[in-house]
Chain A
Amino acid sequence: SAVISQKPSRDICQRGTSLTIQCQVDSQVTMMFWYRQQPGQSLTLIATANQGSEATYESGFVIDKFPISRPNLTFSTLTVSNMSPEDSSIYLCSVEVGGVSYNEQFFGPGTRLTVL
């Protein structure tokens, strides 16, 4: 299994500013993912972050808006840049851990972001 922590757990930010969310895992993992959960909605994959390579972004998400770092196998950051109220969401970090028959995916507790 994997234990994932995220910082901050929540924040209230002003329009036009940026926030960096940290994700720390208690074991080395290859695959890390960032999801967004807008109020009352499901989870949407933002990007996949592998250590040593650039993140792969899903349709509708761009690096300038959501830059991601993956400096090592236990840590990643997601920055929400030039924020607007539409960015108010829960942002979740997720990791994939190798299992016997397949790789299991675990989720962090999320970062609740409110943009005023």
Chain B
Amino acid sequence: AQSVAQPEDQVNVAEGNPLTVKCTYSVSGNPYLFWYVQYPNRGLQFLLKYITGDNLVKGSYGFEAEFNKSQTSFHLKKPSALVSDSALYFCAVRGRRNNDMRFGAGTRLTVKP
């Protein structure tokens, strides 16, 4: 079965600095990989996905993620963080033969002015 690990419970960055939220995965075969964001008292919002093709995926709000097959990673990045990026971020994986999505534990990103 597929699984996802987000090694950091919390990431703190200063506004304007680059940010990275880490994610590693385990799945049989090639994965579908996703990042979602959850703001307080709101549902999950889709940020970006990797399906196939280019390893660098660009998504909403200036976020991007790089699929690294050798390291089984899919880290989320943004060149310049905003205070409004502060939220809970979830990495998720789905196998190509499975229909269910598995989520990481989540990383709380705090961007300080």
CB-nearest residue of chain B relative to A102?
B51
Q: Kindly list chain A residues whose C-beta atoms are within 8 Å of the C-beta of B44.
A: 43, 92, 107
**Distance in angstroms between the alpha carbons of A51 and B90 in the assembled complex:** 28
CB-nearest residue of chain B relative to A48?
B100
- The count of A-to-B residue pairs whose CB atoms sit within 8 angstroms is 41
Chain B min CB distance to A44 (Å): 8
Q: Kindly list chain A residues whose C-beta atoms are within 8 Å of the C-beta of B99.
A: 31, 48, 96, 103
Which residues of B88-105 have CB atoms within 8 Å of chain A's CB atoms? 90, 94, 96, 99-105
Whether B43 is near chain A, meaning CB under 8 Å from some CB there, is yes
Whether A42 contacts B103 in the complex (CB less than 8 A), given A101-B52, A102-B32, A105-B94, comes out as yes
Whether A107 contacts B90 in the complex (CB less than 8 A), given A42-B104, A42-B105, A43-B103, comes out as no
Which residues of A3-45 have CB atoms within 8 Å of chain B's CB atoms? 31, 33, 41-45
A interface residues, Cβ below 8 angstroms from B: 31, 33, 41-45, 48, 92, 94, 96, 101-110
